[in-house]
């Protein structure tokens, strides 16, 4: 168990809908990262938050947004969903204080857009 909790594990929804993915980082980790894994694109970095502030953005669509709350949990919001958004979404957290920035991943949320 990595200590990173993601909910829900599975999500099935229709095109045009909006969903929220939730992530609780490991105790003490201030950084949260979101990644998308799809068959055609592989594992892609979406966005990083550190202690409530956005730190870096990757290939995140404008329809997607995220935030990190004061208790350090994070949410990834996906709106106007398209078939191509079907993927496995991972949250990871790391402890910047270690210097290695090892990222520990949650079990992922598998999103299916029908």
Partner 1 sequence: AQKITQTQPGMFVQEKEAVTLDCTYDTSDQSYGLFWYKQPSSGEMIFLIYQGSYDEQNATEGRYSLNFQKARKSANLVISASQLGDSAMYFCAMREVGNGANSKLTFGKGITLSVRP
With CB under 8 A as the contact rule, which of the stretches 12-20, 61-69, 75-83, 89-97 interacts with partner 1?
89-97
- DSSP string covering 42-73: EEEEEEEEETTEEEEE-S--TTEEEEE-TTS-
What is d(CA 95, CA 31) in angstroms, rounded to the nearest whole number?
7
Q: Quick check: 107 binds partner 1 (CB under 8 A)?
A: yes
Q: Would you say the C-alpha torsion 79, 7, 52, 29 has a positive or negative sign?
A: negative
When binding is defined by CB under 8 A, the residue of 72, 94, 111, 113 that contacts partner 1 is 94
For residues 6 and 91, is the Cβ–Cβ distance under 8 A?
Answer: yes
For residues 7 and 109, is the Cβ–Cβ distance under 8 A?
Answer: yes
Q: Quick check: 26 binds partner 1 (CB under 8 A)?
A: no
In the complex, minimum distance from the CB of residue 70 to partner 1, in angstroms, rounded to a whole number:
19
When binding is defined by CB under 8 A, the residue of 12, 14, 43, 114 that contacts partner 1 is 43
When binding is defined by CB under 8 A, the residue of 81, 90, 111, 113 that contacts partner 1 is 90
Q: Quick check: 48 binds partner 1 (CB under 8 A)?
A: yes
Nearer to partner 1, 78 or 89 (CB): 89
């Amino acid at each position: 168990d990595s200590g990173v909790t993601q909910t829900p594990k599975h999500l099935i929804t229709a095109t045009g809908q909006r969903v929220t993915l939730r992530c609780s980082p490991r105790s003490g980790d201030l950084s949260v990262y979101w990644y998308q894994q799809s068959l055609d694109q592989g594992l892609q970095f979406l966005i990083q938050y550190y202690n409530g502030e956005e730190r870096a953005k990757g290939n995140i669509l404008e329809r997607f947004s995220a935030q990190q709350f004061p208790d350090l949990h994070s949410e990834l919001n996906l709106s106007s969903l398209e078939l191509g958004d079907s993927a496995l979404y991972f949250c990871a957290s790391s402890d910047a204080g270690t210097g290695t920035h090892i990222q520990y991943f949650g079990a992922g949320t598998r999103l299916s857009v029908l």
